[in-house]
Structure 1
Amino acid sequence: MPSAPRSRWSAVARTPVGACAGLLLLAVAVLAVLAPLLWGDGASAVDTGAIQQGPSGAHPLGTDGLGRDLLLRVLVATRLSVTLAVTATLIGVGLGLVLGAAPSVLPRRAGRAVTSVVNIAVAFPGLLLALFFAVVFGVGTTGAVLAIGLATAPAFARLTQTLSASVAGQDFVAAARTVGVRRLRLLTRHILPNIAEPLAVNATIGAGSSLLAFAGLSFLGLGVQAPDYDWGRLLGEGLDRISVTPAPALGPCVAVVVTGLAFNLFGEAAAAALGIRTLSRPRTAPSTVPPAPATRTSSGDDRPVLAVEDLRVSFPGPGPGTWTTPVRGVGLTVRAGEAVGVVGESGSGKSLTAMAVSRLVEPPGHVTARRLEFTGVPLLDADERSIRTLLGTSLALVFQDPMSSFNPVTGVGRQLAEVARHHQHLSRRAAFARAVDRLRAVRVPAPERRARQYPHEFSGGMRQRAMIGMGLMGDPRLIIADEPTTALDVTVQGQVLRLLAGVRAERGTALLLISHDITVVAGNCDRVLVMYAGRVVEEIPAADLFTAARHPYTRALLAAVPDLDADRDRPLAVIPGRPPEPDRMPPGCAFAPRCPRADARCRGEDPEPVTYTPGHTVACWHPGTDHTAPAQKSGTVGGAA
């Protein structure tokens, strides 16, 4: 049975575009190989009795100034013309790929310098650059090849930079960074394979452009020099006689057009073939599977798995020297086996807090905290290598969109195995066997077969299960689930939540669950943190959420949840207004413009958190009333509503 790549190319070859591309490219390749062998002597034979004749039966395109047959010369020139064009294209593509990928690998300042050089070079027309380099390197074949290669490199570098940037923001790249994948491997494994299709198309189109550029340089006398000849030289000689007969110029023109069309059509066919790329798959996994980490038992250490105090995340503001701080002083703790939920509207800073904890906020973003410790290790002070090893083995991330969380051009099993190979130093087979075992642990059916499939072959629920399985490849102390059920239906949502609860019960793993759905958080967490405008405005035990919530924002979120007993004749409850923009934060309480209880004090002073009962903290000047007096104050409590 043919392999998947061969089957894919065979299918493309049966399409009209693929068939035309294959036939034309095959014809050009055959001519390039055989024409000099078959007609090389005839193309060089001088006949003084047939100088500059027009088209005839003996000479279909006529003869040149030495009586040499022009048709034979056009055919023989195929090898040199195509070879030079392909060589120049390889130089341009190779150099462009290096320059375009450099910002993803080099340090920030060096990457910016390379990007600036590319931007300056792209500002000049390609033909002008080619002429400039041709003069620099000198007249001749070598100079023309280098000139065209260097002239095409900036455009290819810009394309590579743009495509790389579009992929670098995907969740699966963030997950790879978290597990500690190095920059070079991140580039070659996760970024470049995902942009192979447009790069292949542009490379083949670039070959056609290089062919035309070479013909132009030779036409101007800067390229191939006598006694060698290519289509450009033949075109220049034919144009001298175009007023008498167009045939000598028509032959090289047709050759350039047909060959350029062959390259372009081949690019379309290659794009179709690379659309679903089949990479090498691991062989059958061995029967022995590495044992899963033992269930974690309490060691008497009461230190939290995650401890955060006064976490702030800032980005450069719209004006020079200004900063925007969308996360403003967040504090939270998560202990072993505990589930802590974080709720709030979009833009409240929930996901950005999780990114900061995972060390995924990159420059120019700036993260500060009075305390940011994971398993007792200060994340802001430790060296990068040890941090990546710690996060790659002890922290699991489950993102909102399971489709974007996986590399679409790599098998699911290989992506799970990458964690074990990188951090546990397992062999390829052993790592793949462990990936199959983890898929089985999260109840993915037929895990051996599924491990060899691609993410698009999984349903949404199975992709989310596989994402949890990726987190279990190590020995996670904490799972950060950022909207893990948003894109799933209610049935699958319940399955995923039960799976997370089972992992907590079996392994003692802590869970930080981020969601817009306050009822999901209340039903699956021990404590709930309500965030608004980058701050935690209320922290409350989940059991007391519906009966003892005091902050007006928390109560508004609860009121907005549809209820079966609600009056159908009345409109659903909504929170008026919109959350403030991070760069336009109002003075005082950020919720004051939307709060019915706000007064002058709320609009002028930002409230500090107040502890009412153990585990219940509220940051509000006018919290809702209940029958519990404040147990501890870290600020002044205003009048109750």
Structure 2
Amino acid sequence: MTTNARRRGSIWSAAVRTPLGVCSVVLLAIVVGLALFGPVLWGDRASAIDTDAIGQGPSGAHLFGTDALGRDILVRVLVATRLSMALAVLATAIGVGTGIVLGVLPSVLPRWAARLVVSAVNIAVAFPGLLLALFFAVIFGVGTHGAVLAIAFAMAPSFARLVQTLAASVMGRDFVAAARVAGVGRVRLLTRHLLPNIGEPLVVNATVGAGASLLAFAGLSFLGIGVQAPEYDWGRLLREGLDGIYLNPAAALAPGLAVVLAGLALNMVGETVASVVGVRTPWSRLRTPPAHEPRVDAPLVPAADAVLVVDNLRVSFPRPSGWTTPVRGVSFSVRSGEAVGVVGESGSGKSLTALAVSRLVEAPGVVTADRLEFAGTPLLTSSDRAVRGLLGTSLAMVFQDPMTSFNPTRRVGRQLAEVSEQHHGLSRSKAFARAVDRLTAVRVPAAARRARQYPHEFSGGMRQRAMIGMGLMGRPKLIVADEPTTALDVTVQRQVLRLLAKTRAEEGAAILLISHDIAVVAGTCERMLVMYAGRVVEDLPTAALPGAARHPYTRALLATTVDLETDRDSPLTVIPGRPPEPDQVPEGCAFADRCRFATDRCREEDPVLEELDRTHRVACWHPAADPTPEPRETVTAGGAA
């Protein structure tokens, strides 16, 4: 057995040991066992007519009584399990297969044909499923075969819509476009690139859909257009029991209870499957917290007026092989009214640090810290209610892409007003008036009119201003700006940075600015944190840059910065190599493989973030003492030099 097979088996084993998994397995085992062995054990007894026991109520001999021919109702319900479940599964299989075909056809057909298929599916989805089933039952005729096809084709449109939605999200991705450019045929594109990427949600929905098919089949048989005599399923038995419900209510209770329990079993199995296929990490790893590792740096001593204190912050995520820690021992503080920038290459842990500070790291991620305080409140130990009120009013988060941060279905003004409605108790009209005032404060033109528009009607820079305005709905003590100028042109970038500086001056708010652009941070902030491989490797004032930089990585970043004085005839400067993956951080200094000063000690022992003076910390065994630029690899028009 391969490692992947064993790993997947352990996930299933852990899933079925949960309360949901145990209940689903037990119920499904009972249903399957009755379907397999019920007719064998009680088939003759279920058909035996007893004229001496016609229409009897519940008794010791017949727990749910007898029907109009004296046959035991409980035994007939048990025997009917096979036919009821078989028909439901068959209808589901046909419906799912038809839905998959209808769902993927628009991805491979010519555009005009794809539109016809999509339109037909949309029209079919508009009709209730039971109405479609009745319609198809009339077309295919009364009886078992007609009912199977009716239910299958009734569930196919909704399943096709699901497949179309999932397929559309996959077909727009770059790897599909690359496959098309490479000349991959439509059928191969469908089987190799499309279906494998949407298979998991389809399996889950098919499992849950089997329960709906069971209920629909019982409904058709109850109406008399499903299973016909002498055969019988739960729906037909329910109809027969309903005729004498006033004399023997248990006659209708038994088949109804069977439908409910079997449907519940199928739905619970679907939920269990969903919990497995949606998790790539063994459940045992999720339940085991990451191992506590001793801190590398000395304990942080924050200033007395610090609004944010982060000491030995670690953010971990589970993997099949254990826990990985992209943020490992970050320590810093931000004083009231101070602007601190965080720089580093992609994957260095900048944004993840900001999310942890804002309590936005979701499970299964785990955030730990020796101390994580905002405005004097410990974020990791305080109640959710207390922290929610604090973060909702005193911390503003400006995300990298406000288009994905705003709800596209709600007007901008109403989204801003929601902050005051929830946290300040303002009425709807007063909250909206404040939203207009905040949009005016961040220089959104015609704020009253713009507040009634949707996010897609704003330009990129205007959306970013509106996002800052949302943060100003309260009285923020800290503004966390995560790449707020990415993808903006230089003019709008300058406006956004000026707006942040103006907000800081007027509101007295501290700013934690995260950026790839070291020049932006140097021109906006008083202090700069340089992160590499999940750690702060240097903490220094920006006023003395570039000469104050002591860590080789900081100096390399400064060397790659392009400004108006850069020689345009010289090749671009780059840092050789690439940062390590979070789960492959080497022993010792993570930058050692890219550093020309690295020694054996650097590769064996992780340097401590130590103070050089009151405002400067650096984690390096060989910090540079002179401002001489470091030689770096260069890139020319023809490639790397």
TM over 0.5: yes
What TM-score do the two structures reach when normalised by structure 2? 0.56
Task: Report the residue type matching 1:383 in the other structure.
Answer: S
User: What does 1:224-373 align with in structure 2 at a 5 Å threshold?
Assistant: 230-233=138-141, 302-319=304-321, 322-373=322-373
CA shift for structure 1 position 564 = 3.4
Structure 1 pair 378/253, CA: closer, same or farther in 2 (3 Å)? closer
Q: Which residue identity does 1:489 align to in structure 2?
A: D
Q: Is the 8 A contact 1:137 1:147 kept in 2?
A: no
Change (3 A) 1:231 1:136: farther
Q: 1:311 Cα shift?
A: 0.5
Equivalence for 1:564? 564
CA distance in 2, matches of 1:588, 1:480: 31
CA distance in 2, matches of 1:370, 1:435: 38
After TM superposition, give the deviation of residue 568 of structure 1 in Å.
3.6
State how 1:347-426 maps to structure 2 within 5 Å: 347-426=347-426
Give the distance between the partners of 1:253 and 1:381, measured in 2 at CA.
Answer: 56
What is the DSSP-based 3-state SS (H/G/I as helix, E as strand, rest coil) of the residue aligned with 2:355? helix
Shift of 1:468: 0.3
Q: TM-score, normalised by structure 1?
A: 0.56
For 1:64-75, list aligned pairs within 5 A.
none
Given that 2:306 and 2:335 are in contact with CA atoms closer than 8 Å, whether structure 1 keeps it comes out as yes
2:133–2:153 CA contact under 8 A, matched in 1:
no
Contact 1:308 1:372 in 2 (8 A): yes
CA offsets per residue over residues 7-37 of structure 1, 9 Å max, x none? xxxxxxxxxxxxxxxxxxxxxxxxxxxxxxx
Distance 2:306 2:328 in 1: 22
Specify the SS of the correspondent of 2:381.
coil
CA distance in 1, matches of 2:587, 2:541: 29
TM-superposed deviation, 1:596: 0.8
State the distance in 1 between where 2:125 and 2:470 align.
39
The corresponding residue for 1:205 is 125
Q: 1:504 Cα shift?
A: 0.5
**Aligned match of 2:200:** none
SS at match of 1:544: coil
Q: For the residues of structure 2 that align with 1:610 and 1:210, how far apart are their CA atoms?
A: 71
1:585 and 1:138, CA in 2 relative to 1: closer, same or farther beyond 3 A?
same
Q: Is the 8 A contact 1:530 1:537 kept in 2?
A: yes
Q: Secondary structure at the match of 2:543?
A: helix
What's the CA shift string for 1:247-276, capped at 9, x where partnerless? xx9xx99999999999999999x9xxxxxx
Flag the 1:116–1:396 CA change in 2: closer, same or farther, 3 A: farther
- Alpha-carbon separation, structure 1, partners of 2:379 and 2:409: 32
Q: Aligned partners of 2:131 and 2:440: how far apart in 1?
A: 54
CA distance in 2, matches of 1:465, 1:515: 17
Tell whether the 8 Å contact from 1:312 to 1:328 is kept in structure 2 after alignment: yes
Aligned to 2:511: 511
Q: How does 1:51-66 map to 2 (within 5 A)?
A: none
1:370–1:210 Cα change, 3 Å: same
Distance 1:333 1:573 in 2: 32
- SS of 2:340's partner is strand
Counterpart residue identity of residue 311, structure 2: E
User: Distance in 2 between the 1:313 and 1:504 partners?
Assistant: 29
Give the 3 Å change call, closer, same or farther, for CA 501–116 of structure 1 in structure 2.
farther
CA-based RMSD: 4.5
Report the counterpart of residue 617 of structure 2 in structure 1.
617
Do the aligned residues in 2 keep the contact of 1:205 with 1:264 (CA within 8 Å)?
Answer: no
What SS does the corresponding residue of 2:354 show, helix, strand or coil?
A: helix
- 1:215 and 1:394 map into 2 onto residues whose CA distance is 59
SS of 1:546's partner is: coil
- Give ranges in structure 1 of 5+ residues lacking alignment: 1-108, 123-128, 160-197, 219-229, 240-248, 271-300, 628-641
Cα 1:539/1:136, change in 2 over 3 Å: farther
Paired letter, 1:305: V
SS at match of 1:545: coil
Match of 1:542 in 2: 542
Distance verdict in 2 for CA 1:586–1:305, change over 3 Å:
same
Deviations 1:423-457 (A, max 9, x none): 11111111111111111111111111111111000
Alpha-carbon distance in 2 for matches of 1:619, 1:354: 21
- Structure 1 match to 2:457: 457
Give a deviation string over 1:531-550, Cα, whole Å, max 9, x none: 00001100111101212101
Q: 1:487-502 counterparts in 2 under 5 A?
A: 487-502=487-502
Q: Which residue of 2 aligns with 1:484?
A: 484
Shift of 1:610: 2.2
SS at match of 1:361: coil
Partners of 2:438 and 2:361 in 1: how far apart? 29
> CA offset at residue 406 of structure 1?
0.5
Query: What displacement does 1:303 show?
Result: 2.6
1:215-256 deviation digits (Å, cap 9, x = unpaired): 77x6xxxxxxxxxxx5554588xx9xxxxxxxxx9xx99999
Q: Would you say the 8 A contact 2:609–2:619 is kept in 1?
A: yes
Q: Counterparts of 1:606 and 1:325 in 2: how far apart (Å)? A: 16
Contact 1:313 1:365 in 2 (8 A): yes
CA distance in 2, matches of 1:519, 1:616: 19
8 A contact 1:588–1:602 mirrored in 2: yes
Gaps of 5+ in 2: 1-14, 29-34, 39-75, 101-117, 166-302, 628-641
Give 2:312's aligned amino acid. Answer: D
The 2-side partners of 1:450 and 1:258 are apart by 47
- Asked if structure 2 preserves the Cα contact closer than 8 Å seen for 1:313 and 1:325, the reply is yes
Distance 2:509 2:567 in 1: 42
Deviations 1:155-176 (A, max 9, x none): 9xxx9xxxxxxxxxxxxxxxxx
Identity, in percent, stands at: 61
Shift of 1:331: 0.8
Describe the shift of the 1:118–1:577 C-alpha distance in structure 2 as closer, same or farther (beyond 3 A): farther
Name the count of aligned residue pairs.
Answer: 407
Query: Hey, what does 2:529 align to over in structure 1?
Result: 529
Deviations 1:288-330 (A, max 9, x none): xxxxxxxxxxxxx9431101111111111331xx211111110
